[in-house]
Amino acid sequence: MAGAAALALSSSALSFASCSSGSGKKAAPARSLNLSFQEGLTPGSTLSEKLDFIESLGVTGFEPGGRGLLGRVDEIKKALEGRMVKVSAICAGFDGFILAEDPEVKKLFDTTMREIIVAAGKLDSTGVIMVPAFNGQKPCKPHTQETRDYLCEQLHDLGEFALENGTTVILEPLNRGECFYMRLVADAAAIARDSASEGVKCMGDFWHMKEETSDYGAFWSAGTKYLQHVHIASRGRRKTPGEDGELDNYVDGFRALKEMGYDKYVSFECGQVGDPKTVLAAAVELLRKQWEEA
């Protein structure tokens, strides 16, 4: 069953490749690397302390989790006043899942996801990250074209709702250890395209891109029209970039982002081995160095 899903999605990816740039025009090269930290990995006992630390490193993005976010909008807005830091993407936080077999689980997804989308719009976020289904979640339809068609229909409605709220839905491909569906950036971009809504985008995650043959090719398979967010972690243990030594080379992917004129965020989604303040500062320095090399 999983093989059928992969086949269907790969076919979409192939058909997508010829129009990945959206406009067909060469993008202006990106001039700067816009880094972002997820809230949970940032040192500090209060939101204000976390934002102080983020600013101290010249990082400009802040990625909060989606759970309970609607009730935190005023708190986050107030904390960001007068700062250079902005909200980047929102990391999931919904209940249920979009392909749920149980109608009550699907209803729970629809309700909680829309609440997060409303909050994301109020915070001027680039979008809400979502995964169609994880390993262990039973979809409502067999893994065929029927599943994909249903997903695109559901995403169309969700994407239009996101547009009404001034934000987007961001599809995240995961590696096979975490999901059975949508493992490649090209697959996510093709699904975004076929949802027929400008409110549906996709992202790449350097950790999950172990499924790809090339970081450079993975980002370009989404193209300038669909790539909305990037996650990053060390490439051996999913810790802070740099904590896995020579494995942590992102130049190939950064080269694609620069060529694409990518102007959104590269956000840390990772654990830590060493002291957070020390390893995060070192990681920022490493990534800026590799961005210059790209």
pLDDT in tens, the chain (294 residues): 333 333 333 334 434 443 455 444 467 777 899 999 999 999 999 999 999 999 999 999 999 999 999 999 999 999 999 999 999 999 999 999 999 989 999 999 999 999 999 999 999 999 999 999 999 887 766 667 888 999 999 999 999 999 999 999 999 999 999 998 899 999 999 999 999 999 999 999 999 999 999 999 999 999 999 999 999 999 999 999 999 999 999 999 999 999 999 999 999 999 999 999 999 999 999 999 999 999
Q: Which residue has the tokens 């999950």?
A: 208
Distance CA 196, CA 39 (A): 32
Residue 98 structure tokens: 């979009």
Angstrom distances, CA of residue 86 to CA of 55, 64, 94, 201, 245: 10, 11, 22, 20, 30
Q: Which CATH class is domain 2-16+35-293?
A: alpha beta
